[in-house]
Amino acid sequence: MAQILGLGITHIPMLASRGNMARRTKVAMQDPALPAQYRSPDGWPPPMRAQWGDDEGETHSEQHREAHIAQFRKARRVLDEFAPDIVVLFGDDQYENFRDDIIPPVCVLAHEGFEFKPWRRYKENVWGEPEDKVFTVKGHREAGKTITRGLLEAGFEVSYAYKPLHDPLAHAFMMSLLFLDWDRRGWPYPLVPFAINCYGSKVVLQRGSGATGFSQATMPNGESDPPSPPPWRCFDLGAALVRSLKEKPWRVALVASSSWSHASLTAKNYFLFPDVEADKRYYEALRAGDYQVWRNTTTAEIEERGHQELLNWFCLAGAMAELGRKPKECVFLESWLCNSDRVFAIYPPE
């Protein structure tokens, strides 16, 4: 019978670069469509003003960065102690591997392996690694096929792929691996990426990104793309995946990677700050194992709260609900300035 470890992490790209991670807030403040009250810290919510301080968020940025690094190191220690045969990683594809030619709701990447050069896209990095540095990661085609087969037999219309279409690896997966190997000891575990179309109604029209300001928020002619998979379906998919693995002789790490509410996706806050209140509600439900709060969520609520990427965590929440587990450890990293709040969670195997 499979042994299953659950982990929740993030893949925040700005963590890989140098400088103030609150710099997006300063850019958003200059947006001519931003209401006047938000163009100065005087009109912000008090916790946001406190994080901004007298140094434009520099102190908060450094504290936020160090908290992330500590959590990634802890997650890696947990992974190494577990020594998984396979890492199944739930992440979003933001118009990277999947583009106008096809946008699958979910897709299992059952590749033999992955090769990527992250610093061609992100021009600087805190490790000082060269632009042409190549990272190679093993895949696990057998596990990818087994997962896909089990989900199809359970009635989930899951796509699969044996090779990349446009991009070797979307940044959700790429950054997760780089951060879980923060101290550059290497990555020995076979990977099965599970790509979710989290951005749904914006994935093609906005190329999978959010708005940098309120003036950029309107779709041409009010258009939108078809929606993402509904949250309850992602939740149920995670539960079905666990059922498909239970009789396998593998040690499996199920990892969900995303930031939570994004300022760049939260129109009700004029794309200036995330829905921190909603994030805290979902975090407390996660801590308590109150998974009905999660499963009862609608797509409209996801989009209203800037929770699009949280669909990756809905898969993990469904898997842990199926196993009857609450997190043994979890932490909420609050940031009104760095685009998103982030959560880390550990669900040890029984």
**231-245 pLDDT, tens digit each:** 999 999 999 999 999
Q: What is the mean pLDDT of the chain?
A: 95
Kindly state the tokens that stand for 153. 């037999």
Q: Is residue 271 predicted with pLDDT exceeding 70?
A: yes
Any idea where the domains of the chain sit in the sequence? 3-347
Given a contact cutoff of 8 angstroms between Cβ atoms, the answer to whether 247 and 1 are in contact is: yes
Distance CA 25, CA 17 (A): 16
What is the mean pLDDT of the segment spanning 195-222? Answer: 76
DSSP state of 340: B
Distance CA 107, CA 93 (A): 10
Give the confidence band of 212 by pLDDT, cuts at 50, 70, 90: low
| Tokens 């434009």 found at | 56
pLDDT at 123: 85
pLDDT at 246: 85
Q: What is the pLDDT of residues 303-326, one digit of tens each?
A: 999 999 999 999 999 999 999 999
Dihedral over Cα of 139, 84, 343, 15: its sign:
negative
Q: Is residue 169 predicted with pLDDT exceeding 90?
A: yes
Q: Is residue 213 predicted with pLDDT exceeding 70?
A: no
pLDDT at 23: 94
Given a contact cutoff of 8 angstroms between Cβ atoms, the answer to whether 71 and 10 are in contact is: no
Distance CA 138, CA 18 (A): 29
Kindly state the tokens that stand for 164. 């990349």
What is the mean pLDDT of the segment spanning 90-115? Answer: 97
Q: What is the CATH number assigned to the segment(s) 3-347?
A: 3.40.830.10
Burial 128-166 (b: 16+ CB within 10 A, else e): ebeeeeebebebbbebbebbbebbeeeebebebbeebee
What is the mean pLDDT of the segment spanning 17-29? Answer: 94
pLDDT at 221: 58
Give the confidence band of 171 by pLDDT, cuts at 50, 70, 90: very high
pLDDT at 223: 82
Checking DSSP bridges between strand 251-257 and strand 3-9, what pairing results, if any? parallel
Secondary-structure percent of the chain, ordered helix, strand, coil, rounded to 5: 40, 15, 45
Give the confidence band of 205 by pLDDT, cuts at 50, 70, 90: confident
Query: Of the candidates 100, 110, 96, 104, which has an alpha carbon nearest to the alpha carbon of residue 168?
Result: 96
Q: What are phi and psi of 324, to 5 degrees?
A: 70, 35
Give the confidence band of 114 by pLDDT, cuts at 50, 70, 90: very high
Strands (DSSP E) found in 272-319: none
Strand partners, 139: 191
Q: What is the pLDDT of residues 118-131, one digit of tens each?
A: 999 998 999 999 99
pTM: 0.96
Q: Is residue 149 predicted with pLDDT exceeding 60?
A: yes
Kindly state the tokens that stand for 201. 């109604």
DSSP string of 216-276, one letter each residue: G-PPGGG--PPPPPPHHHHHHHHHHHHHHHTTS--EEEEEEE--SSBGGG-GGGTTTS--H
Q: Is residue 156 predicted with pLDDT exceeding 60?
A: yes
Distance CA 136, CA 264 (A): 31
- pLDDT cut 90: percent of the chain above it: 92
Strand partners, 114: 137
What is the mean pLDDT of the segment spanning 320-337? Answer: 98
Going from the C-alpha of 1 to that of each of 154, 246, 247, 250, 306, the distances in angstroms are 19, 5, 4, 7, 38
pLDDT at 160: 98
Give the confidence band of 11 by pLDDT, cuts at 50, 70, 90: very high
pLDDT at 1: 72
Q: What is the pLDDT of residues 47-58, one digit of tens each?
A: 999 999 999 999
What is the mean pLDDT of the segment spanning 166-176? Answer: 97
Given a contact cutoff of 8 angstroms between Cβ atoms, the answer to whether 18 and 177 are in contact is: no
